[in-house]
């Protein structure tokens, strides 16, 4: 069994160790300061002498397996283990922040069913279908208070029975003796993970949103430097929008709403104008009543919807400036166009639509020959 030094002292950054077994992609040591992936927390990284440890996972027996990049040291090799402390401290901070959030949620009657610690945020999946923003923002406020109070985070190994008598918020998942982690005056929970010494080290915790997953609410949080960066980024977004809308921060939403509404009205007006242009273009090009009517339109062909009457027997082929066509006529007529011209699309009854590629004037010229040829 590996002596798991991180279990009792999560601030140990290095230790002398000896290889006791070599497995497929890694090594087992007689002692280690490397925490293996588990409980939603990634495994540690660092070095063992000249070797690079890229990850730490539990092997089949639950022992920390140090994943080595390249050739592995042989059994009996002694060297200094050294943690990538920045990596570890980041996840240790997120893990401790998660303890605090879960403890505070529990005080609002919300249990934790799963957690995940990521590079950008950590999540706490609750046992509830709904958790109000009031509760989540209260938890954020209370976490801030706990951080400012620098509550001690301590741990104590004890028998299963003794731990059970503490009446903790979460049932104990392992057999035998357990490590119970305490947040002063707030929480006690059995956990084999690595923790900070004080809530003060978390710096800050920010509630970032929630989502529904497996019929539960999963809450999203940021802590420490990530929380600071998130706050700054949001401030930048607000400043940019404020400049863009020429509005004070508190008026951005009303300015944006007004623009969205105006945009909707303008689009509606534009469609009406396009319809008027479409009607004029059709009447200009159809002034002698000749069949077929073939022309290029400056407005989208969709503007002719309702203007070209579906069953009036007329043959019309329009290509717009946006690379789209509309054909009104028989299926035979459309099949001829499709066989001879670079048009893609389809339709039913008398109306066919799609896209065109290539020179519009030449397409219209060819269509004229094809459709007139057919009608003569
Ligand atoms: Zn823990």
Give 89 Cα–ligand 1 centroid separation in angstroms: 13
Q: What is the DSSP string of 235-252?
A: HHHHHHHHHHTT--GGGH
78 and 121 housed in the same domain: no
12 and 47 housed in the same domain: yes
CB 119 within 8 A of CB 80: no
295 and 361 housed in the same domain: yes
Cα dist. 265→245, 259, 276, 298 in Å?
18, 10, 17, 21
111 and 234 housed in the same domain: yes
285 and 193 housed in the same domain: no
Return the closest-CA partner of residue 294 out of 195, 179, 371, 199: 371
Cα dist. 340→321, 322, 325, 331, 361 in Å?
21, 21, 15, 14, 15
172 and 292 housed in the same domain: no
Question: What is the CATH classification number for the domain harbouring 102?
Answer: 3.30.980.10
Give 41 Cα–ligand 1 centroid separation in angstroms: 10
Question: What is the CATH classification number for the domain harbouring 276?
Answer: 3.10.310.30
Say how far apart CA 67 and CA 42 lie, in whole Å.
13
Q: Which residue range(s) make up the domain with 235?
A: 89-240
Give 171 Cα–ligand 1 centroid separation in angstroms: 14
Say how far apart CA 93 and CA 365 lie, in whole Å.
72
Give 39 Cα–ligand 1 centroid separation in angstroms: 8
103 and 74 housed in the same domain: no
Return the closest-CA partner of residue 313 out of 337, 293, 329, 334: 329
141 and 198 housed in the same domain: yes
Q: Helix %, strand %, coil % for the chain, to 5? A: 40, 30, 30
- Among candidate residues 32, 65, 83, the one where a domain is terminated: 83
Q: What is the pLDDT along the chain (376 residues), one digit of tens a residue?
A: 999 999 989 999 999 999 999 998 999 999 999 999 988 889 999 999 999 999 999 999 999 999 999 999 999 999 999 999 999 999 999 999 999 999 999 999 999 999 999 999 999 999 999 999 999 999 999 999 999 999 999 999 999 899 988 888 888 888 888 999 999 999 999 998 999 999 999 999 999 999 999 899 999 999 999 999 999 999 999 999 999 999 999 999 999 999 999 999 999 999 999 999 999 999 888 866 667 899 999 999 999 998 887 667 789 999 999 999 999 999 999 999 999 999 999 998 889 999 999 999 999 999 999 988 654 3
203 and 278 housed in the same domain: no
Give 195 Cα–ligand 1 centroid separation in angstroms: 6
User: Does residue 261 belong to any structural domain of this protein?
Assistant: no
How many Cβ atoms from other residues are within 10 Å of residue 316's Cβ? Answer: 23
Residues lining ion ligand 1 (Cβ < 5 A) are 191, 193
Give 269 Cα–ligand 1 centroid separation in angstroms: 60
If one counts the domains in the chain, the total is 3
119 and 7 housed in the same domain: no
213 and 328 housed in the same domain: no
CB 50 within 8 A of CB 69: no
Say how far apart CA 225 and CA 204 lie, in whole Å.
8
Give 191 Cα–ligand 1 centroid separation in angstroms: 5
With 0-12 CB in 10 A as exposed, 13-18 as middle and 19+ as buried, what is 197? middle
With tokens 């007529």, the residue in question is 333
Estimate the crossing angle of helix 360-375 against helix 331-340, to 10 degrees: 140
154 and 236 housed in the same domain: yes
Nearest 5 degrees, angle CA 225-CA 231-CA 236?
A: 125
With tokens 């940021």, the residue in question is 222
For the four alpha carbons of 353, 354, 355 and 356, in that order, the dihedral sign comes to negative
């Amino acid at each position: 069994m590996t002596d798991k030094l991180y279990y009792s002292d999560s601030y140990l950054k290095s230790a002398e160790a000896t290889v006791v077994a070599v497995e497929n992609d890694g090594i087992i040591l007689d002692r280690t300061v490397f925490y293996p992936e588990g409980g939603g927390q990634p495994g540690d990284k660092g070095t063992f002498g000249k070797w690079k440890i890229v990850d730490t996972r539990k092997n089949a027996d639950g022992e920390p397996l140090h994943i080595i990049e390249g050739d592995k040291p042989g059994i009996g090799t002694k060297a200094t283990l050294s943690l990538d402390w920045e990596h570890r401290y980041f996840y240790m901070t997120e893990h401790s922040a998660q303890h605090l959030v879960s403890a505070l949620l529990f005080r609002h009657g919300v249990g934790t069913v799963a957690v995940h610690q990521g590079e950008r945020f950590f999540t706490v999946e609750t046992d509830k279908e709904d958790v109000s923003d009031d509760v989540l923002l209260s938890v954020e406020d209370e976490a801030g208070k706990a951080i400012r109070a620098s509550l001690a985070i301590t741990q104590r190994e004890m028998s299963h029975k003794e731990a059970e008598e503490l009446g903790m918020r979460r049932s104990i998942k392992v057999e035998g003796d357990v490590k119970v982690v305490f947040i002063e005056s707030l929480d006690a929970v059995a956990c084999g993970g690595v923790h900070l010494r004080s809530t003060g080290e978390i710096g800050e915790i920010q509630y970032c949103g929630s989502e529904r997953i497996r019929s539960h609410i999963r809450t999203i949080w940021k802590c420490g430097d990530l929380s600071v960066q998130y706050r700054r980024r949001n401030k930048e977004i607000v400043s940019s929008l404020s400049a863009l809308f020429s509005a004070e921060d508190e008026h951005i939403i009303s300015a944006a709403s007004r623009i969205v509404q105006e945009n909707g009205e303008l689009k509606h007006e534009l469609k009406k104008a396009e319809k008027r242009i479409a009607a004029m273009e059709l009447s200009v090009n159809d002034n002698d009543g000749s069949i077929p009517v073939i022309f290029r339109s400056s407005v989208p062909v969709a503007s002719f919807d309702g203007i070209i009457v579906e069953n009036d027997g007329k043959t019309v082929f329009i290509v717009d400036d946006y690379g789209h066509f509309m054909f009104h006529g028989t299926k035979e007529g459309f099949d001829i166009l499709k066989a001879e011209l670079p048009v893609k699309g389809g339709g039913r009854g008398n109306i066919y639509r799609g896209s065109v590629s290539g020179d519009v004037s030449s397409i219209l010229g060819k269509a004229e020959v094809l459709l007139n040829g057919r009608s003569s």
